[in-house]
Amino acid sequence: MNLLYNLVAVQPIHSAKFHGGGSYGEVVFGALLKYLYANSDRTIQNENFKMFCIYDSKKYLDPNIISTCKKYEIPLSDINEISPQELIDQNFINTFYTPLFSLEKKWNIEVERFVFTWHGVRALEMPYSNVGIAFAKTLVQKAEALVRYKNFWKKYYYQPKYQSLAKRIAEGKVKAMTVSEHSNASIKAFFPELMHVKIPVFYSPMAENEANGNLPEGIENQKYFLLTSGARWEKNNLRAVMAFDDLISSLPTNDFNFKVVVTGVTNQKVYTKNLRHKDHFIFLNYVENEQLELLHKNAYAFIFPSLNEGFGYPPIQSMRYGVPVAASGTTSVPEICGNAVLYFDPYSVSEIKNRIIQLLNPEIYQNYSERAKRRYSEVSKRQKEDLEKAVEFILDSH
For 274-332, list the strands marked E by DSSP. 281-283, 301-304, 325-328
List pLDDT tens digits, range 13-37: 865 666 778 889 999 999 998 887 7
**Residue 35: exposure state from Cβ atoms within 10 A (0-12, 13-18, ≥19):** middle
* Cβ-contact 326, 346 below 8 angstroms: no
5 beta partners: 53, 97
* Cβ-contact 41, 17 below 8 angstroms: no
List pLDDT tens digits, range 45-92: 566 788 999 999 999 999 999 999 999 899 999 999 999 999 999 999
Q: DSSP 3-state assignment of 375? A: helix
- CA–CA separation, 175 vs 163, rounded Å? 15
The pTM of this model reads 0.91
List pLDDT tens digits, range 193-204: 999 999 999 999
Which residue intervals of the chain are DSSP H helices?
20-36, 63-71, 84-90, 122-125, 131-135, 139-147, 151-153, 159-170, 181-190, 237-250, 269-272, 289-298, 314-319, 333-337, 349-359, 362-395
Q: Which amino acid is at 86?
A: E
Supply the pLDDT for residue 12.
Answer: 86
Identify the structural domains of the chain with CATH numbers, from first to last.
Answer: 2-207+383-395 (3.40.50.2000), 224-381 (3.40.50.2000)
* Cβ-contact 219, 299 below 8 angstroms: no
